């Protein structure tokens, strides 16, 4: 039986509450992860080392109660180390397909930009089609399936920038900066009282949902109504990125689709059966900045993808009911 949007809101609140027990100041992070999960998308977390990117994904996966695997991306990692390979069985005198760590519900691609583009590209088919091809044999991946990747800022030593095609596959990108003073003091107090971030099980964190409930939530999110005026608003935002003089590359049609799907998920998280322009504006800062490329001269002047998107959102007329 499909859930209603009010039930999706209850489900999302359970995840948020459990997440807050582990991650300090992670409201926007868990919101973005929920958007990706409910929209069948993928999430990219970027921040300097030590800001809780890996911990956030581990906590999120533990709350979902799904099969979780972590892939530590390194310069010598090969594509077969990600998707799997064929193994010869001397007893049957045949090759059998052995899926790699990507064969899980929640896959943590840790420090994804520390491996060369060839290995990064091994994720493309899985993220787009929910399957992997191993030595010519297609292997279906479990459902639900979500890739949560972490990366350090590209100016850090030993990093390889993700190709535009790969970035476009991530529905949302979350920036994990330094916490505010009150949040970091809260973190220190938790650790001083015995909290161990390496033990995310038992009394620390327990699953609050399952695969069946998530599948029902997917159906409820896709049933959220998006009026024609809201769809036109989404197009106007995407089109504005393509004609902006400070952008060398604007948002793709896939970006517009992701914006619509994320707006549907945001409405369902709020318990509504319809998406509004405010939903679109709320999720745009997570969906669009990583999909555009700023002109070099504009970048020298301090422009970023986020700042240009914010300016566009301020200029595109918002439809009124």
- The pair phi, psi for residue 130, each rounded to 5°, is 70, 30
Q: What's the pLDDT at 156?
A: 60
pLDDT at 160: 78
Q: CB-side exposure of 98: number of CA atoms within 13 Å? A: 9
Side-chain-side CA neighbours of 199 within 13 Å: the count stands at 7
Q: For residue 239, how many C-alpha atoms fall within 13 Å in the half-sphere facing its CB?
A: 8
Backbone φ and ψ of 3, nearest 5° = -80, 160
CA distance 119 to 79: 5
The pLDDT tens digits of the residues spanning 280-309 come to: 999 999 999 999 999 999 999 999 999 999
pLDDT at 1: 43
Inter-residue contact 192 to 225 (CB < 8 Å): no
pLDDT at 275: 97
**Do 318 and 195 contact (CB within 8 A), yes or no?**
no
Q: What's the rounded Cα separation, in Å, for the pair 271 and 12?
A: 10
pLDDT of 321: 60
Neighbouring C-beta atoms of residue 274, cutoff 10 Å: 13
**Planar angle of CA 90, 131, 171, nearest 5 degrees:** 145
Backbone angles phi, psi at 20, to 5 degrees: -65, -25
**Composition of the chain by helix, strand, coil, percent to 5:** 45, 15, 35
Residue 314 is predicted with a pLDDT of 96
All domains in the chain, ordered by first residue: 5-195+206-217 (3.40.50.300), 224-315 (1.10.8.80)
8 A C-beta contact, residue 224 and residue 275: yes
How far apart CA 243 and CA 249 sit, in angstroms, is 9
pLDDT tens for the chain, residues 1 to 321: 457 889 999 999 999 999 998 888 899 999 999 999 999 999 999 988 888 899 999 999 999 999 999 999 988 999 889 998 888 778 777 777 888 899 999 999 999 988 888 888 888 889 988 888 888 888 899 999 999 999 987 656 667 788 888 889 999 999 988 889 999 999 899 889 888 777 776 556 889 999 999 999 999 999 999 999 999 999 999 999 999 999 999 999 999 999 999 999 999 999 999 999 999 999 999 999 999 999 999 999 999 999 999 999 999 999 986
- pLDDT, residue 312, reads 97
315, 308 Cβ separation under 8 angstroms: no
222/163 Cα distance (integer angstroms):
29
Look at the pTM and tell me if it is higher than 0.85.
yes
Q: DSSP state, 274?
A: B
* CA nearest neighbour of 167 among 305, 69, 260: 305
Q: Name the DSSP letter for residue 180.
A: P
């Amino acid at each position: 039986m499909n859930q209603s949007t009010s039930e999706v809101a209850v489900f999302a609140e359970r995840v948020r509450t459990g997440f807050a027990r582990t991650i300090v100041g992670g409201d926007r992070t868990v919101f973005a992860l929920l958007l990706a999960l409910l929209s069948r998308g993928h999430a990219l977390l970027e921040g300097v080392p030590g800001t809780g990117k890996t911990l956030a994904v581990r906590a999120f996966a533990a709350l979902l109660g799904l099969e979780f695997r972590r892939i530590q991306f390194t310069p010598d990692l090969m594509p077969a180390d990600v998707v799997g390979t064929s193994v010869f069985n001397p007893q049957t005198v045949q090759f059998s397909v052995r899926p790699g760590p990507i064969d899980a519900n929640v896959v943590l691609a840790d420090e994804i930009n520390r491996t060369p583009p060839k290995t990064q590209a091994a994720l493309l088919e899985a993220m787009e089609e929910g399957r992997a091809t191993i030595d010519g044999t297609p292997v279906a991946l479990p459902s639900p399936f979500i890739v949560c990747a972490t990366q350090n800022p590209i100016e850090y030593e030993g990093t390889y920038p993700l190709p535009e095609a790969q970035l476009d596959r991530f529905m949302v990108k979350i920036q994990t900066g330094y916490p505010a003073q009150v949040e970091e003091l809260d973190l220190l107090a938790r650790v001083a009282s015995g909290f161990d971030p390496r033990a995310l099980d038992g009394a620390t964190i327990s699953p609050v949902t399952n695969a069946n409930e998530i599948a029902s939530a997917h159906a409820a999110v896709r049933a959220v109504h998006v009026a024609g005026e809201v769809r036109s608003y989404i197009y106007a935002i995407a089109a504005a990125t393509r004609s902006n003089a400070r952008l060398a590359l604007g948002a793709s049609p896939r970006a517009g689709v992701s914006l619509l799907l994320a707006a549907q998920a945001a409405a369902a998280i709020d318990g509504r059966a319809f998406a509004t322009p405010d939903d679109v504006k709320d999720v745009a800062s997570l969906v669009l900045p990583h999909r555009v490329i700023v002109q070099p001269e504009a970048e020298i002047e301090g422009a970023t993808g986020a700042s240009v998107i914010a300016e566009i959102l301020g200029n595109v007329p918002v439809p009124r009911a």
